[in-house]
Structure 1
Amino acid sequence: MYIKLQKLFLLLVFLGLGAQAQEKKYEIQTIAFYNCENLFDTIRDPKIYDEEWTPTGAQAWTSKKYNKKLSNLAKVMSQIGTDDNTKMPAIIGVAEIENRGVLEDLVRQPLLAPGDYGIAHFDSPDRRGIDVALLYQKKHFKVTNSTAHPLYIYDMNKVDRTTGEKGVRIYTRDQLLVSGNLDGEEVHFIVNHWPSRVGGEKKSSPLREAAAALNKKIIDSLYTINPNAKVITMGDMNDGPYNNSMKKVLQTAGKKEDLKPQGLFNPMEKMSKDGLGTLAYRDAWDVFDQMVVTEPYMRGDYSAWGFWKARIYKKPFMVQPTGQYKGYPLRNSNGEPGYSDHFPVYIYLIREMK
């Protein structure tokens, strides 16, 4: 798709382009992330704690409910970004999915099937069995490499029963790195789902800071190979843009003028400042779902893919309409499938058409 001239006024203002640029046309791709909130199949897996999500479990999770959940997620994913782009997202990072099988069922949904999505996925050691993954439209993105980067963190208040040594590993999600060519240009995606806030934000913060350190290590390694590496790190960070993991460890900048060479720009910081949110807890909104881009996306050279803008995707059908949680994301409730307890986030990449 290209952005038609009559729709381009705001974009031209953003880019600071002159009158000559008004004759240019731009192609656009949507890059999205969605925490799918407990996308489990109905089959008991003895290696993980998925008893709740079986027909005889607490959620009474039947095939009918599972298929409704898939349909709901496909409805959202197929529409993300369509306010400014008629195409479905070229890339969708996902979290809280049980296995490759549920991903295969998801991309076969009638609303997503036309996108012909490929899957990049590895099983994580998470005790609940939930993983991250990347869905990509095969006609737009060609994978050259995908790797899972495990996060090694330990509870030093416990003793390992096998070794007798202090420190027990906390098993959580790997960070998924997928490299490839987006319509012919090399790009990299990292999909994250950082440790939760169980035990409280302050007590659990070091776990997410460790996740941020691993993320920075991956990005720095890509910068070492290519100083102009274009990386998008996305996911449910379980922290907001102003928490230590983002500001002190990843060292993200929320304003373009504060962005340093080979730094990281976080467009979600302004959203948080403006009071927007991707999830709510006790009527307080936060932006845990974030998309961060490396500095080469922000250089204003639109002969190659560049960052345009970021958004939270929130439509009325995704919102709880009544009751105590009116206005919250319409999530799974009382064993009935909803959409998710998170709203998805997305960014637009643009470049000049040749």
Structure 2
Amino acid sequence: MNREIISFYNVENLFTPDPPPKHKLDPTESGLQNWDERKYQNKIFKIASVFHLIEEREGILPMMIGLSEIQGRKPLEDLIALEPFNSNYGIVHYNSMDERGVDVALIYDKEKIEVISSEPLSYFFTVEKSDYEYYDTTRDVLFCRVKFQNTIINVFVLHLPSKREKDVNKSKREYILSDLKVKIDEIIKESSEPVLIFGDFNENPDEEMISNFIYDKDFNKILINPFAELFQNEKFSTYHYKSGLLFDQMMLTHDFIDENFPLTINEAKVFNHEKLQNWDQKFSGRPFRTFAGTRYLGGYSDHFPILIIFNTKM
């Protein structure tokens, strides 16, 4: 029996290089300090090497990879030009209205996956101040209909608003998940097509928002979340101070556990390869990140990638 892999990776500020500042104290376009061509090329090389490690350990490259914290299309083009992709991967990407200019994207093996259609799902929120109001924006959710072995799969890639400042974005995450639940429920009832939703939810699997998301309005379980068990077993993809977190998750419809379906779940993983971990014993077991605050460390990302390995009949 053959295997295929689907992966998601929050790559931590994969931004194009900033132009040289006219004045030393000028703000940068990226918001990062001294984000130049050398650091950018190092980052691109490191992200590509992560997938080389996945191929080395698992014996196969992921056929679909969701990415977040991407700034524009150019980093994606530069990434797939490198080994192990060698320009054999396609790109689905849209520029979002996010205030930091970061997007989500999908790259895919063109020999295995055909993209039928794609669109960004955009969300705007009204913020009221004492004497005025304005629209707040966030990352788009990427929606694709793809074909694998003549089977249509509905794919959502997301990076929900972050937990910060006493979680001011909680209502935004709730709204987006509520809207996506309606869309997923419609797909299941109208077409019976399978659904895969993955990304950085900025919520752990055991939090109420995620626990509720996998059920429809009639309390029928419509999605499986194999990362809930990983979280219970203290497998974490990122950290905040002393807390281990599993914000990065994949959820799937029950089609993916049907032995007659082209892809059946074998195993879910946090890919915490030792080469991706921090070298400092104080932060042992944590991702080797690119930045710690404003301090450049030169690592991969502040998240580990996640994987689901599938059995396939062909």
TM above 0.5, yes or no, is yes
Among 46, 68, 75, the alignment partner of 1:72 is 46
User: Equivalent residue for 1:129?
Assistant: 101
- Hey, what's the Cα distance between the residues in 2 that align with 1:177 and 1:82? 30
Among 319, 325, 337, the alignment partner of 2:298 is 337
Contact 2:18 2:28 in 1 (8 A): no
User: Equivalent residue for 2:309?
Assistant: 348
1:62 aligns with 2:27: no
Among 217, 227, 237, the alignment partner of 1:268 is 227
User: Equivalent residue for 2:161?
Assistant: 195
1:106 aligns with 2:67: no
- Residue 51 of structure 1: CA displacement? 4.7
Same amino acid, percent of matched pairs: 28
- Hey, what's the Cα distance between the residues in 2 that align with 1:81 and 1:348? 12
User: Equivalent residue for 1:96?
Assistant: 69
Contact 1:30 1:348 in 2 (8 A): yes
- Hey, what's the Cα distance between the residues in 2 that align with 1:260 and 1:337? 46
Deviations 1:281-309 (A, max 9, x none): 1221010000111122123334x222222
- Residue 53 of structure 1: CA displacement? 5.9
Among 142, 148, 154, the alignment partner of 1:176 is 142
Contact 1:313 1:345 in 2 (8 A): yes
State the AA in 2 paired with 1:143: V
Structure 1 residues 321, 123: closer, same or farther in 2, change over 3 A?
same
1:248 aligns with 2:219: no
Q: CA RMSD in A?
A: 2.3
- Residue 99 of structure 1: CA displacement? 0.2
User: Equivalent residue for 2:121?
Assistant: 149
Contact 1:120 1:133 in 2 (8 A): yes
1:321 aligns with 2:279: yes
**Structure 1, unaligned runs of 5 or more:** 1-25, 45-49, 162-166, 253-258
Map 1:149-168 onto structure 2 (within 5 A). 149-155=121-127, 157-158=128-129, 161=132, 167-168=133-134
- Hey, what's the Cα distance between the residues in 1 that align with 2:171 and 2:12? 24
- Residue 349 of structure 1: CA displacement? 2.1
Contact 1:125 1:172 in 2 (8 A): yes
SS at match of 2:296: coil
SS at match of 2:256: helix
Structure 1 residues 100, 58: closer, same or farther in 2, change over 3 A?
closer
User: Equivalent residue for 1:311?
Assistant: 269
User: Equivalent residue for 1:9?
Assistant: none
Question: With structure 1 as the length reference, what TM-score do the two structures score?
Answer: 0.80
Structure 1 residues 65, 219: closer, same or farther in 2, change over 3 A?
same
Contact 1:30 1:88 in 2 (8 A): yes
Comparing 270-279 and 130-139, the one that deviates more: 270-279
User: Equivalent residue for 1:36?
Assistant: 11
State the AA in 2 paired with 1:158: K
SS at match of 1:272: helix
- Residue 41 of structure 1: CA displacement? 0.6
Comparing 331-340 and 91-100, the one that deviates more: 331-340
- Hey, what's the Cα distance between the residues in 1 that align with 2:252 and 2:298? 33
SS at match of 1:96: strand
Deviations 1:38-81 (A, max 9, x none): 0001145xxxxx95466xx7521111110000000001123336
Among 178, 187, 206, the alignment partner of 1:222 is 187
Structure 1 residues 179, 154: closer, same or farther in 2, change over 3 A?
same
- Hey, what's the Cα distance between the residues in 2 that align with 1:160 and 1:268? 44
State the AA in 2 paired with 1:111: P
Contact 1:93 1:235 in 2 (8 A): yes
Question: With structure 2 as the length reference, what TM-score do the two structures score?
Answer: 0.89
Bigger Rg, structure 1 or 2: 1
- Hey, what's the Cα distance between the residues in 2 that align with 1:338 and 1:70? 11
Contact 1:140 1:182 in 2 (8 A): yes
Deviations 1:175-207 (A, max 9, x none): 101111113321121100000012224x43222
